[in-house]
Structure 1
Amino acid sequence: MKYVWRIPDLYRGFAEREARHRSPVYAEISARIAEDEGMLAFLGELPKTKWQPNLFLGAVQYLCGPARDWPWFRARFAERSDDIRAVMLARSTQTNEPARCATLLPALAALPQPLALLEVGASAGLCLLPDRYGYDYGRVRIPGPLVLPCRANAATPLPSRVPDVVWRAGLDLNPLDAASADDRAWLEALIWPGEEERLPRLRAALEIARQERPGIHRGDLRVDLPALAAQAPAGATLVVFHTAVLAYVRDKAERQAFGESVREMGAVWLANENPAAIPGVTLRGEGDFVLARDGGPLAWTDPHGTWVNWL
């Protein structure tokens, strides 16, 4: 057997914990992959960092269009396995959901203004533009060219305006360009079947990013962060933030070192992640994210930004 035992468990876990309530199509396909000898062997020949279900599923959608069901997926795999392998080796999962800004906004608005934003794992920089969007929390609405709806519990300190951002920069191992048709197609392919309502929002945010051109720098958060942070202007509150990034830093000691480096540079550290990936956070939940400031949890959040529940 060419694949290791963890790959079937990875896909079963994805089907049950992540996709079951969000994308029945992906839940079915992922559960079937976990039982398919050919696909498991295919995955086992790839580097460990390329085993992620989102990468495999996204690569098929990128090449073949929206996934329909298991027979469709199995047929597309049989036809284009070499092309799928090439995309998986060249690409990485870089879901850039702008709605995550709605869960970050209460924390950003509470900081001393103006802000200098530095996002690690920035992808195309859509989450670097919280001041360029509008928001609808139900009891509070902030106008903007793209309004992001978000349910917030009564404890959430909702702002009345967007933050004052005077500088922004992103750091990513493989920056994406909002003006690139190929990069835009890749981000669209990472949207799950059953969540097609995210597509118009993504396209609108990409157009805003194409016009704004936030600076995304190629680099590794483990070594290149201090040099980029040093470019932030004096007099602004430097905020280093990330969403769904630290889970890809496999080594716990490296995640801890990253958090310490942010503290040493005197920045505010906002993490919006699976709680197990954030050093110092002891809360545990299944499928939800925790928003934490400097290692202290502030709120439970939806991974795609549709709700925030302040603690």
Structure 2
Amino acid sequence: MDTARWYRAFSEREARGESPTYERLALAVAGDPGLIALLDGLPEPKRQPNLLFGAVRHLGGPVDDPAAFRRWTADHWAEVAATVRARRTQTNEAARCAVLLPLLARLPQPLALLEVGASAGLCLYPDAYRYRYVRPGAADHLVGPDASPVRLTCSVTGDVPLPDRVPEVVWRAGLDLNPLDVTDPDDLGWLTALVWPEQHGRRDRLTAAARVARADPPLLRRGDLLADLPALAAAAPPEATLVVFHSAVLAYVPPVARTGFTRTVAGLPGHWIANEAAGVLPPADGTPAPPPADVTRFLLSLDGRPVAWAGPHGQSLHGLTG
């Protein structure tokens, strides 16, 4: 897909109905030959809309007016291009813990959590957040510390056993090509810039989850998911159940590396939880029935077996029978 078509598709398929600001900006970029030429000078993975818009916001550029955005971006292209080359789209959505929690709580306790593609590690604290699960026709199911500053709500349908308590986590570690440090104002500013302008709830949740992480920083290691995962997994305490997990990560990994990762993680002790877009990883037990109504679902699996469809930001969970 050429760059102009990429931005037009982003405007129509991803931003529309979610972010009027980004819908307008993406169309403006698609119709600006000068900006398209600048973007085409970057490696293809660095041309993505979220990365460009996040970089401009991180540098203090305007996003509310498309004409001002186009002028500012062209005038400051050296800074924008340097930021785009140095950074990645690492949206660290703590709300995904709401779909991970039912699986984590049913594994043998205590747990040693190892997240692949951890970003700043905000999904390594499922025991520190407060959850509200909403089922049609049933009372809300509440679990987690009531005093937690992070409050997560997840709608539930289908066969999903909900836990009565959060898991006991005794070790938490993350692996990332470019781990972020929430104690670093620049890294936290980058995470904030990646939240779309209208998503005020996500921004507040990011701020609250960062406070949790700063109080008890996780072990974050820079490394590759194939070469460096076994060594980090070996550092987990042997008395705990190792859980390797990832969410919205493998779509950015070449298919050959995904196959190698599957072999690597399957050879580790403990358990493996994957929460990825449908089709990114072929489930070991075959493809489940399509999700109801909403096609923008992730497939949640445990040790290669599909267990549920999940909202991409942890907002919903639909259990699979059988």
Q: 1:259 aligns with which of 250, 254, 262?
A: 262
CA–CA distance in structure 1, aligned partners of residues 107 and 131 of structure 2: 18
User: Do 2:62 and 2:68's aligned partners in 1 also have CA atoms closer than 8 Å?
Assistant: no
- Tell me which residue corresponds to 1:31: 27
One-letter amino acid matched to 1:141: L
Matched, 1:124 2:120: yes
Matched, 1:45 2:41: yes
CA–CA distance in structure 2, aligned partners of residues 49 and 161 of structure 1: 41
**Which secondary structure does the structure 2 equivalent of 1:276 belong to?**
coil
| Distance change (3 Å), C-alpha of 1:92 and 1:301 | same
Matches within 5 A, 1:1-311: 5-64=1-60, 67-138=63-134, 139-144=140-145, 145=148, 146-249=150-253, 251-280=254-283, 282=287, 286-311=295-320
User: Do 2:124 and 2:173's aligned partners in 1 also have CA atoms closer than 8 Å?
Assistant: yes
**Which secondary structure does the structure 2 equivalent of 1:153 belong to?**
strand
User: Do 2:249 and 2:276's aligned partners in 1 also have CA atoms closer than 8 Å?
Assistant: yes
The alignment of Structure 1 onto Structure 2 pairs a total of residues equal to 306
User: Could you list the runs of 5+ residues in structure 2 that have no partner in the other structure?
Assistant: 135-139
| Distance change (3 Å), C-alpha of 1:182 and 1:278 | same
User: Do 1:18 and 1:287's aligned partners in 2 also have CA atoms closer than 8 Å?
Assistant: no
1:6-62 CA distances to partner (integer Å, 9 max, x unpaired)? 323332332233222321221222233233212221111111221222111111111
User: Do 1:256 and 1:279's aligned partners in 2 also have CA atoms closer than 8 Å?
Assistant: no
User: Do 2:118 and 2:175's aligned partners in 1 also have CA atoms closer than 8 Å?
Assistant: yes
Cα offset for 1:287? 3.1
User: Do 2:276 and 2:298's aligned partners in 1 also have CA atoms closer than 8 Å?
Assistant: yes
**Structure 1 length-normalised TM:** 0.92
**Which secondary structure does the structure 1 equivalent of 2:221 belong to?**
strand
**Structure 2 length-normalised TM:** 0.89
1:132-182 CA distances to partner (integer Å, 9 max, x unpaired)? 111111321124312212222253221111111111110011111110111
1:178-219 CA distances to partner (integer Å, 9 max, x unpaired)? 101111100000000221121111111101101111010010
1:222-264 CA distances to partner (integer Å, 9 max, x unpaired)? 2110010111122322111111111111x21210110111011
User: Could you list the runs of 5+ residues in structure 1 that have no partner in the other structure?
Assistant: none
One-letter amino acid matched to 1:42: L
Cα offset for 1:96? 0.5
One-letter amino acid matched to 1:83: E
CA–CA distance in structure 2, aligned partners of residues 179 and 216 of structure 1: 13
